[in-house]
Amino acid sequence: MARNLRDSVVVITGASSGIGQATALAFAREGAKLVLAARDAAALQQVAKSCREYGVDVLVAPTDVTDADAVRALAERAMSFGRIDVWVSNVGVGAVGRFHETPIEAHQQVIRANLVGHINDAHAVIPIFIKQRRGTFINMVSVGGFAATPFAAAYSASKFGLRGFSEALRAELSAFPDIHICDIHPSFVDTPGLLHGANYVRRAVRPPPGMSDPRAVAAAIVSAARNPRDVVTVGPLTNLIRFVHFLSPTLSARAAEWVIRQYFRQADRVPASSGNLYRPPVDPGGIDGGFRSKHRNGYAPIFLISLCVGMALGAAAQRRGNRFHPAR
Protein backbone atom coordinates (compact mmCIF):
# COMPACT_ATOMS: atom_id res chain seq x y z
CA MET A 1 0.00 0.00 0.00
CA ALA A 2 1.32 3.43 -0.96
CA ARG A 3 2.39 5.50 2.01
CA ASN A 4 1.10 8.97 2.71
CA LEU A 5 4.16 11.20 3.06
CA ARG A 6 2.40 14.09 4.75
CA ASP A 7 4.15 14.90 8.06
CA SER A 8 6.77 12.22 7.42
CA VAL A 9 10.30 13.24 8.47
CA VAL A 10 12.72 13.25 5.55
CA VAL A 11 16.48 13.89 5.72
CA ILE A 12 18.18 14.84 2.44
CA THR A 13 21.95 15.13 2.13
CA GLY A 14 23.40 17.01 -0.82
CA ALA A 15 20.29 19.19 -0.76
CA SER A 16 21.87 22.48 -1.85
CA SER A 17 21.42 22.05 -5.63
CA GLY A 18 20.62 19.69 -8.46
CA ILE A 19 18.80 16.46 -7.62
CA GLY A 20 18.93 17.24 -3.89
CA GLN A 21 17.20 20.59 -4.30
CA ALA A 22 14.59 19.12 -6.66
CA THR A 23 13.97 16.31 -4.16
CA ALA A 24 13.54 18.73 -1.26
CA LEU A 25 10.88 20.64 -3.19
CA ALA A 26 9.17 17.40 -4.26
CA PHE A 27 8.87 16.22 -0.64
CA ALA A 28 7.75 19.69 0.45
CA ARG A 29 4.86 19.47 -2.03
CA GLU A 30 3.94 16.17 -0.34
CA GLY A 31 3.76 17.94 3.03
CA ALA A 32 6.82 16.23 4.55
CA LYS A 33 8.93 17.70 7.34
CA LEU A 34 12.42 18.26 5.99
CA VAL A 35 15.97 18.21 7.30
CA LEU A 36 18.29 19.59 4.63
CA ALA A 37 22.03 18.93 4.73
CA ALA A 38 25.02 19.94 2.59
CA ARG A 39 28.27 21.85 3.08
CA ASP A 40 26.93 25.19 1.80
CA ALA A 41 24.81 26.79 4.57
CA ALA A 42 23.76 29.79 2.48
CA ALA A 43 22.55 27.62 -0.41
CA LEU A 44 20.62 25.41 2.03
CA GLN A 45 18.85 28.44 3.43
CA GLN A 46 17.67 29.39 -0.05
CA VAL A 47 16.36 25.87 -0.68
CA ALA A 48 14.68 25.85 2.74
CA LYS A 49 12.98 29.17 1.97
CA SER A 50 11.46 27.71 -1.21
CA CYS A 51 10.31 24.59 0.65
CA ARG A 52 8.66 26.58 3.44
CA GLU A 53 6.43 28.21 0.85
CA TYR A 54 4.54 24.90 0.86
CA GLY A 55 3.82 25.34 4.57
CA VAL A 56 6.17 22.60 5.81
CA ASP A 57 8.67 22.57 8.67
CA VAL A 58 12.30 22.69 7.51
CA LEU A 59 15.52 22.31 9.49
CA VAL A 60 18.80 23.39 7.91
CA ALA A 61 21.85 21.41 9.03
CA PRO A 62 25.14 22.25 7.27
CA THR A 63 27.00 18.93 7.19
CA ASP A 64 30.02 17.39 5.50
CA VAL A 65 29.07 13.72 5.08
CA THR A 66 32.72 12.65 5.01
CA ASP A 67 32.78 13.51 8.75
CA ALA A 68 31.08 10.64 10.60
CA ASP A 69 30.63 12.69 13.78
CA ALA A 70 28.92 15.46 11.81
CA VAL A 71 26.53 12.95 10.25
CA ARG A 72 25.66 11.50 13.65
CA ALA A 73 24.92 15.05 14.82
CA LEU A 74 22.70 15.48 11.74
CA ALA A 75 20.71 12.38 12.71
CA GLU A 76 20.36 13.63 16.28
CA ARG A 77 19.09 16.97 15.05
CA ALA A 78 16.58 15.27 12.76
CA MET A 79 15.29 13.30 15.74
CA SER A 80 14.06 16.58 17.22
CA PHE A 81 10.98 15.76 15.10
CA GLY A 82 10.65 12.56 17.13
CA ARG A 83 11.51 10.09 14.34
CA ILE A 84 13.10 9.73 10.90
CA ASP A 85 10.98 8.14 8.20
CA VAL A 86 13.14 8.59 5.09
CA TRP A 87 16.83 9.34 4.62
CA VAL A 88 17.91 10.34 1.11
CA SER A 89 21.68 9.82 0.79
CA ASN A 90 22.37 12.00 -2.20
CA VAL A 91 25.88 13.47 -1.99
CA GLY A 92 28.03 12.93 -5.08
CA VAL A 93 31.17 14.47 -6.56
CA GLY A 94 33.40 13.56 -9.48
CA ALA A 95 36.87 14.00 -10.93
CA VAL A 96 37.43 13.64 -14.68
CA GLY A 97 40.88 12.73 -15.96
CA ARG A 98 43.14 9.86 -16.85
CA PHE A 99 43.66 7.80 -13.73
CA HIS A 100 47.43 8.28 -13.50
CA GLU A 101 47.19 12.02 -14.26
CA THR A 102 44.61 12.69 -11.54
CA PRO A 103 46.06 13.45 -8.08
CA ILE A 104 45.67 10.56 -5.67
CA GLU A 105 44.14 13.03 -3.19
CA ALA A 106 41.34 13.70 -5.69
CA HIS A 107 40.63 9.97 -6.09
CA GLN A 108 40.53 9.60 -2.32
CA GLN A 109 38.14 12.52 -1.88
CA VAL A 110 35.73 11.11 -4.47
CA ILE A 111 35.67 7.82 -2.55
CA ARG A 112 35.22 9.64 0.76
CA ALA A 113 32.22 11.61 -0.49
CA ASN A 114 30.53 9.10 -2.79
CA LEU A 115 31.06 5.91 -0.81
CA VAL A 116 32.23 6.59 2.74
CA GLY A 117 29.81 9.51 3.00
CA HIS A 118 26.87 7.24 2.17
CA ILE A 119 28.15 4.64 4.62
CA ASN A 120 28.31 7.39 7.27
CA ASP A 121 24.70 8.30 6.46
CA ALA A 122 23.54 4.71 6.85
CA HIS A 123 25.59 4.12 10.00
CA ALA A 124 23.92 7.13 11.63
CA VAL A 125 20.33 6.31 10.72
CA ILE A 126 20.08 2.50 10.59
CA PRO A 127 20.19 2.14 14.41
CA ILE A 128 17.30 4.63 14.55
CA PHE A 129 15.37 2.63 11.95
CA ILE A 130 15.99 -0.59 13.90
CA LYS A 131 14.75 1.01 17.10
CA GLN A 132 11.67 2.30 15.24
CA ARG A 133 11.43 -1.00 13.32
CA ARG A 134 10.77 0.95 10.17
CA GLY A 135 12.37 3.46 7.84
CA THR A 136 13.53 3.91 4.25
CA PHE A 137 17.12 4.61 3.24
CA ILE A 138 17.33 5.87 -0.34
CA ASN A 139 20.77 5.62 -1.89
CA MET A 140 21.58 7.80 -4.90
CA VAL A 141 23.80 5.52 -6.98
CA SER A 142 23.93 6.07 -10.78
CA VAL A 143 24.10 4.22 -14.05
CA GLY A 144 27.79 4.21 -13.08
CA GLY A 145 26.89 1.52 -10.56
CA PHE A 146 26.18 -0.84 -13.47
CA ALA A 147 28.83 0.13 -16.02
CA ALA A 148 32.37 1.48 -15.81
CA THR A 149 33.10 5.16 -16.40
CA PRO A 150 36.50 5.58 -18.08
CA PHE A 151 38.30 8.84 -17.27
CA ALA A 152 36.50 8.82 -13.90
CA ALA A 153 37.96 5.71 -12.29
CA ALA A 154 37.39 6.71 -8.66
CA TYR A 155 33.80 7.71 -9.43
CA SER A 156 33.30 4.30 -11.02
CA ALA A 157 34.82 2.57 -8.00
CA SER A 158 32.61 4.53 -5.63
CA LYS A 159 29.40 3.70 -7.51
CA PHE A 160 30.18 0.01 -7.93
CA GLY A 161 31.05 -0.06 -4.23
CA LEU A 162 27.88 1.77 -3.30
CA ARG A 163 25.73 -0.77 -5.12
CA GLY A 164 27.50 -3.61 -3.33
CA PHE A 165 27.10 -1.82 -0.01
CA SER A 166 23.35 -1.52 -0.54
CA GLU A 167 23.02 -5.19 -1.45
CA ALA A 168 24.91 -6.24 1.67
CA LEU A 169 22.92 -3.89 3.91
CA ARG A 170 19.65 -5.06 2.39
CA ALA A 171 20.54 -8.66 3.22
CA GLU A 172 21.53 -7.82 6.80
CA LEU A 173 18.23 -6.06 7.39
CA SER A 174 16.04 -8.75 5.85
CA ALA A 175 14.64 -9.57 9.30
CA PHE A 176 13.05 -6.09 9.38
CA PRO A 177 10.35 -6.08 6.69
CA ASP A 178 9.54 -2.40 7.24
CA ILE A 179 13.14 -1.19 6.82
CA HIS A 180 13.97 -0.64 3.16
CA ILE A 181 17.21 0.09 1.28
CA CYS A 182 16.36 1.60 -2.10
CA ASP A 183 18.89 2.34 -4.85
CA ILE A 184 18.20 5.05 -7.43
CA HIS A 185 20.11 4.70 -10.71
CA PRO A 186 19.66 7.71 -12.99
CA SER A 187 21.50 7.98 -16.27
CA PHE A 188 22.90 11.40 -17.20
CA VAL A 189 21.07 14.15 -15.33
CA ASP A 190 21.04 17.83 -16.28
CA THR A 191 22.33 19.35 -13.03
CA PRO A 192 25.08 21.87 -12.21
CA GLY A 193 27.14 18.96 -10.82
CA LEU A 194 29.09 18.43 -14.03
CA LEU A 195 30.17 22.08 -14.04
CA HIS A 196 31.18 21.78 -10.38
CA GLY A 197 33.26 18.62 -10.75
CA ALA A 198 37.04 18.39 -10.70
CA ASN A 199 38.69 18.43 -14.11
CA TYR A 200 42.18 17.02 -14.67
CA VAL A 201 41.74 16.16 -18.33
CA ARG A 202 41.97 19.88 -19.19
CA ARG A 203 39.13 19.64 -21.68
CA ALA A 204 35.65 21.11 -21.38
CA VAL A 205 33.32 18.38 -20.15
CA ARG A 206 29.82 18.21 -21.56
CA PRO A 207 27.28 15.46 -20.89
CA PRO A 208 25.96 13.20 -23.64
CA PRO A 209 22.40 13.55 -24.93
CA GLY A 210 19.48 11.69 -23.44
CA MET A 211 19.77 13.57 -20.14
CA SER A 212 17.07 13.36 -17.50
CA ASP A 213 15.38 16.28 -15.82
CA PRO A 214 16.44 16.39 -12.15
CA ARG A 215 12.77 16.65 -11.27
CA ALA A 216 12.18 13.24 -12.85
CA VAL A 217 14.84 11.78 -10.55
CA ALA A 218 13.24 13.56 -7.59
CA ALA A 219 9.87 12.06 -8.56
CA ALA A 220 11.47 8.59 -8.61
CA ILE A 221 12.86 9.20 -5.12
CA VAL A 222 9.46 10.27 -3.79
CA SER A 223 7.89 7.24 -5.47
CA ALA A 224 10.44 4.99 -3.74
CA ALA A 225 9.56 6.60 -0.40
CA ARG A 226 5.87 5.85 -1.03
CA ASN A 227 6.40 2.35 -2.42
CA PRO A 228 9.91 1.14 -1.53
CA ARG A 229 11.69 -0.90 -4.19
CA ASP A 230 15.20 -2.29 -4.13
CA VAL A 231 16.32 -0.81 -7.46
CA VAL A 232 14.85 2.09 -9.45
CA THR A 233 16.30 3.13 -12.81
CA VAL A 234 15.68 6.59 -14.27
CA GLY A 235 16.40 7.90 -17.75
CA PRO A 236 16.27 6.46 -21.26
CA LEU A 237 19.89 5.28 -21.34
CA THR A 238 20.13 3.54 -17.97
CA ASN A 239 18.56 0.23 -18.92
CA LEU A 240 20.30 0.22 -22.31
CA ILE A 241 23.71 0.73 -20.73
CA ARG A 242 22.90 -1.80 -18.02
CA PHE A 243 21.95 -4.38 -20.67
CA VAL A 244 25.01 -3.74 -22.84
CA HIS A 245 27.26 -4.08 -19.79
CA PHE A 246 25.53 -7.34 -18.88
CA LEU A 247 26.26 -8.71 -22.37
CA SER A 248 29.93 -7.69 -22.33
CA PRO A 249 31.49 -5.60 -19.56
CA THR A 250 34.76 -5.35 -21.50
CA LEU A 251 33.15 -4.14 -24.71
CA SER A 252 30.88 -1.67 -22.95
CA ALA A 253 33.84 -0.13 -21.12
CA ARG A 254 35.92 0.02 -24.31
CA ALA A 255 33.04 1.58 -26.20
CA ALA A 256 32.61 4.23 -23.53
CA GLU A 257 36.35 4.92 -23.52
CA TRP A 258 36.40 5.27 -27.32
CA VAL A 259 33.45 7.66 -27.42
CA ILE A 260 34.81 9.81 -24.58
CA ARG A 261 38.31 9.89 -26.04
CA GLN A 262 36.95 11.03 -29.41
CA TYR A 263 35.04 13.79 -27.67
CA PHE A 264 38.05 14.99 -25.69
CA ARG A 265 40.10 15.26 -28.88
CA GLN A 266 37.86 18.03 -30.19
CA ALA A 267 36.69 19.61 -26.90
CA ASP A 268 37.85 23.07 -25.90
CA ARG A 269 40.87 23.32 -23.61
CA VAL A 270 40.24 24.48 -20.03
CA PRO A 271 42.48 24.84 -16.97
CA ALA A 272 42.77 21.95 -14.53
CA SER A 273 40.59 22.40 -11.46
CA SER A 274 39.73 20.56 -8.24
CA GLY A 275 36.15 21.86 -8.55
CA ASN A 276 33.95 21.19 -5.55
CA LEU A 277 35.97 18.26 -4.18
CA TYR A 278 37.24 20.09 -1.11
CA ARG A 279 34.83 23.03 -0.77
CA PRO A 280 31.35 24.00 -1.97
CA PRO A 281 31.09 25.70 -5.36
CA VAL A 282 30.97 29.49 -5.39
CA ASP A 283 27.63 29.31 -7.22
CA PRO A 284 25.44 26.32 -6.22
CA GLY A 285 23.68 26.68 -9.56
CA GLY A 286 20.11 25.69 -8.66
CA ILE A 287 18.42 22.59 -10.02
CA ASP A 288 19.28 22.62 -13.73
CA GLY A 289 22.63 22.48 -15.45
CA GLY A 290 21.27 24.09 -18.62
CA PHE A 291 22.51 21.36 -20.97
CA ARG A 292 19.23 19.87 -22.18
CA SER A 293 18.33 22.73 -24.52
CA LYS A 294 21.74 22.45 -26.18
CA HIS A 295 21.04 18.84 -27.14
CA ARG A 296 17.67 19.38 -28.79
CA ASN A 297 19.32 19.44 -32.19
CA GLY A 298 19.32 15.78 -33.15
CA TYR A 299 22.63 14.98 -31.47
CA ALA A 300 21.20 12.01 -29.58
CA PRO A 301 21.20 9.68 -32.63
CA ILE A 302 24.80 10.69 -33.36
CA PHE A 303 25.79 9.74 -29.82
CA LEU A 304 24.07 6.37 -30.03
CA ILE A 305 25.68 5.67 -33.41
CA SER A 306 29.06 6.59 -31.93
CA LEU A 307 28.42 4.22 -29.04
CA CYS A 308 27.66 1.38 -31.47
CA VAL A 309 30.76 2.22 -33.53
CA GLY A 310 32.80 2.21 -30.33
CA MET A 311 31.48 -1.23 -29.42
CA ALA A 312 32.32 -2.53 -32.91
CA LEU A 313 35.85 -1.14 -32.71
CA GLY A 314 36.24 -2.59 -29.24
CA ALA A 315 35.14 -6.01 -30.51
CA ALA A 316 37.57 -5.79 -33.42
CA ALA A 317 40.42 -4.82 -31.11
CA GLN A 318 39.56 -7.69 -28.79
CA ARG A 319 39.58 -10.15 -31.69
CA ARG A 320 42.95 -8.85 -32.88
CA GLY A 321 44.30 -9.14 -29.34
CA ASN A 322 43.11 -12.71 -29.10
CA ARG A 323 44.64 -13.55 -32.48
CA PHE A 324 48.06 -12.09 -31.81
CA HIS A 325 48.23 -12.93 -28.09
CA PRO A 326 46.98 -16.49 -27.76
CA ALA A 327 46.49 -17.87 -24.28
CA ARG A 328 49.55 -19.69 -22.97
Q: What confidence tens digit (pLDDT) does each residue in 207-261 have? A: 777 788 999 999 999 999 999 999 999 987 777 787 877 878 887 788 788 888 8
**pLDDT of residue 55 exceeding 60:** yes
3-state class (DSSP) for residue 106: helix
Share of the chain above pLDDT 70, in %: 89
* CATH number of the domain residue 266 falls in: 3.40.50.720
- At 187 the pLDDT is 87
Residue 169 counted as domain residue: yes
**CA 32 to mean position of chain CA atoms:** 22
Q: How confident is the model at residue 325 (pLDDT cuts 50, 70, 90)?
A: very low
The answer to whether 224 and 201 are in contact (CB under 8 A) is: no
Residue 303 counted as domain residue: yes
Angstrom distance (rounded) from CA 267 to CA 111: 27
Residue 3 counted as domain residue: no
Q: State the total domains in the chain.
A: 1
Residue 236 counted as domain residue: yes
Q: How confident is the model at residue 326 (pLDDT cuts 50, 70, 90)?
A: very low
Residue 229 counted as domain residue: yes
Please list, in sequence order, all residues whose beta carbon lies within 8 angstroms of the beta carbon of residue 283, skipping any fewer than 6 positions away: 192
3-state class (DSSP) for residue 108: helix
Residue 4 counted as domain residue: no
Angstrom distance (rounded) from CA 221 to CA 182: 9
| Marked catalytic residue, from 54, 155, 278, 299 | 155
Across the range 54-80, mean pLDDT stands at: 98
- At 205 the pLDDT is 85
Across the range 253-274, mean pLDDT stands at: 85
What are 23-33's pLDDT values in tens digits? 999 999 999 99
Enter the pTM of the model: 0.88
Among this protein's residues, is 54 annotated catalytic?
Answer: no
Residue 2 counted as domain residue: no
Residue 1 counted as domain residue: no
Side chain identity at 164, as an amino acid letter?
G
Side chain identity at 22, as an amino acid letter?
A
**Domain range enclosing 263:** 9-324
- At 318 the pLDDT is 52
